[in-house]
Structure 1
Amino acid sequence: MIKTIKNIFMLVCLAFTLNSFANEKQLLASPEYQQLIIVITDNWQVDHGLLYTFEKKAGQWQLISKENPVTVGKNGLAWGLGFHTKQQGQYKKEGDGKAPAGIFSLGEAFGYLKSIKTGLPYQQMSANDYCIDVNGSPYYNQLVDKTKVGELAIKGSTEPMRRDIHVNGDIRYRKGVVVKHNQQNISGQGSCIFMHVWKAKGVPTSGCTAMPENTITGLLEWLNINKKPLYIALPYAQYLAKKQAWGLPNFD
């Protein structure tokens, strides 16, 4: 069976999108969403930022952790396709080296180990698992098993999910979580967006959010699918500009 980012865990995926709410402020204020990860960068072009976590208590976002160093796309950020309404400015495209900005839900956790401590659904990756980043592929932006879809279906993919096996011991996907960007799997609009272990300190990504292994380990232990966690990435100026309209929390 094909394992897609959109429906691999259909029974536990988020029940609502922004279409269920009048605007981003109602979305973030909803009691449905009780955990929040925010990544802030200095501007659209930089390849690094800081990660903050929040949990909703008595209807208010409370800061849990702050100023955790992360890297983003090697070419910075661009608007992605998520829960937010259409924005003015550059949008992410396949291969642009930019991480998606906006509001997104989180999918399953994944990694090399048989099991990990997490409140998210977890899938151990095998040497046959790939994420398809090939424009025009019917499996675009989907996690697939080569034994199910065939060798031709993974041709051209640069995203083997067991990078330790396929890419000289690469540790980046040892632990990670899916960021649900481009859930309609529109070809060319960006694919295979994750939070994961960074290759080395300060090394940026092709479009994901990367961090030290102890940071992603802590996130995975904290995240709980029943609290419907959200992920937000924005440059600092845009965060301030959207703060009131979106109901974004303070960092103190």
Structure 2
Amino acid sequence: MRASSLFRWLGFTCITLPTAVLAVEAPNAWSGAQQMIVVTTDDWNAEHGTLRTYVRDAGAWKETGSAADVTIGKNGSAWGIGLNPTQNDGPQKHEGDNRSPAGVFRIGEAFGYARSHATAMPYVGLTASDYCMDVDGSPYYNRLVDADKVGRKAVEGSTEPMRRDLHLNGDGLYRMGFVIEHNPDGRRGGGSCIFAHLWRSPTSTTAGCTAMTDTTMERLLAWLDPKKKPVFVLLPKNEYARLRDAWRLPSP
């Protein structure tokens, strides 16, 4: 086993590398990735970004598909906890800051309101009893749990019922989406429940997720392949330019 702890999502297990190892080995931590989703923003406080997709061909990244608009946290972005080495220059992600985590992250399971979806990614059909725990200090912090299994008391205080359509007057934001594996070890206060999901409108920002149109999400879910070890990158443009060569990121 490569990690000291596991991030569990409804029975699926994603093994994560210890932080100390990541700091030494990155970008080897994502050197095996053959698919990359890249979101760039104008600066740390920008609420909107541009999403591009890349495939690795003969060792070189090549853009595929069309660029798409996305919205992110209403306060912009901040360094998250993912695959890349810790960055101390710039804002740091913490619970409740309404910033999207910046860095390089594994892409986890897809999810949605339907029982199944046309995607190669492991898929979770959400139910009314599924919650993501955003309560700092909870033993289930940054995990999706089934209240019918862990008990209703265990999910008290969560603001993340996953079937938003059933709990929040028909809300469709989580009708399709996937996990962005920020803070996979559930470090207290480090931020939780970070997803790519649908947007309400082009001007509607998020509490820290990345939101997009139905069309863009459908394309991503059809394109993503777990065998290609996909990763998700979110960076302000100046940070992307600074780190592109060292982190072996695609040329814009």
Counterpart amino acid of 2:36?
L
Partner of 2:61: 61
Partner of 2:156: 155
Partner of 1:35: 35
Q: What TM-score, normalized by structure 1, do the two folds share?
A: 0.92
Partner of 2:243: 242
Deviations 1:14-54 (A, max 9, x none): 676783795434344x3x21100000000000111000100
Deviations 1:52-105 (A, max 9, x none): 100111111110134300000000000000011110222111110000000100
CA 1:83–1:168: 2 relative to 1, 3 Å: same
For the pair 1:225 / 2:215, whether they are aligned, the reply is no
CA 1:85–1:15: 2 relative to 1, 3 Å: closer
Deviations 1:172-196 (A, max 9, x none): 0000000100011012110000000
| Alignment partner of 2:28 out of 26, 29, 32 | 26
Counterpart amino acid of 2:145?
V
Partner of 1:101: 102
Q: Supply the RMSD in Å over aligned alpha carbons.
A: 2.0
**Higher mean C-alpha displacement, 19-28 vs 169-178:** 19-28
Secondary structure class of the residue paired with 2:8: coil
**Higher mean C-alpha displacement, 18-27 vs 217-226:** 18-27
Secondary structure class of the residue paired with 1:234: strand
CA 1:17–1:10: 2 relative to 1, 3 Å: farther
Query: How many angstroms apart in 2 are the aligned matches of 1:11 and 1:112?
Result: 18
Query: How many angstroms apart in 2 are the aligned matches of 1:133 and 1:173?
Result: 16
In structure 2, the gaps of 5 or more residues are none
Q: What TM-score, normalized by structure 2, do the two folds share?
A: 0.92
Secondary structure class of the residue paired with 2:232: strand
CA 1:12–1:65: 2 relative to 1, 3 Å: farther
Indicate if the aligned counterparts of 1:9 and 1:108 stay in contact, CA closer than 8 A. no
Map residues 1-252 of structure 1 onto 2, 5 A cutoff. 6-8=7-9, 13=14, 19=21, 22-28=24-30, 30=31, 32-88=32-88, 89-251=90-252
Query: How many angstroms apart in 2 are the aligned matches of 1:191 and 1:15?
Result: 16
CA 1:85–1:99: 2 relative to 1, 3 Å: same
Indicate if the aligned counterparts of 2:24 and 2:85 stay in contact, CA closer than 8 A. no
Query: How many angstroms apart in 1 are the aligned matches of 2:12 and 2:133?
Result: 23
Query: How many angstroms apart in 2 are the aligned matches of 1:164 and 1:15?
Result: 32
Indicate if the aligned counterparts of 2:49 and 2:72 stay in contact, CA closer than 8 A. yes
Query: How many angstroms apart in 2 are the aligned matches of 1:72 and 1:40?
Result: 10
In structure 1, the gaps of 5 or more residues are none
Secondary structure class of the residue paired with 2:9: coil
Indicate if the aligned counterparts of 1:5 and 1:180 stay in contact, CA closer than 8 A. no
Counterpart amino acid of 2:122?
P
Aligned residues: 246
Secondary structure class of the residue paired with 1:6: strand
Counterpart amino acid of 2:249?
L
Identical aligned pairs, as a percentage?
46
Query: How many angstroms apart in 2 are the aligned matches of 1:157 and 1:140?
Result: 10
Query: How many angstroms apart in 2 are the aligned matches of 1:55 and 1:231?
Result: 12
Indicate if the aligned counterparts of 2:23 and 2:84 stay in contact, CA closer than 8 A. no
Indicate if the aligned counterparts of 1:14 and 1:228 stay in contact, CA closer than 8 A. no
Query: How many angstroms apart in 2 are the aligned matches of 1:147 and 1:83?
Result: 33
Deviations 1:186-217 (A, max 9, x none): 12110000000012222110000000011011
Counterpart amino acid of 2:245?
Q
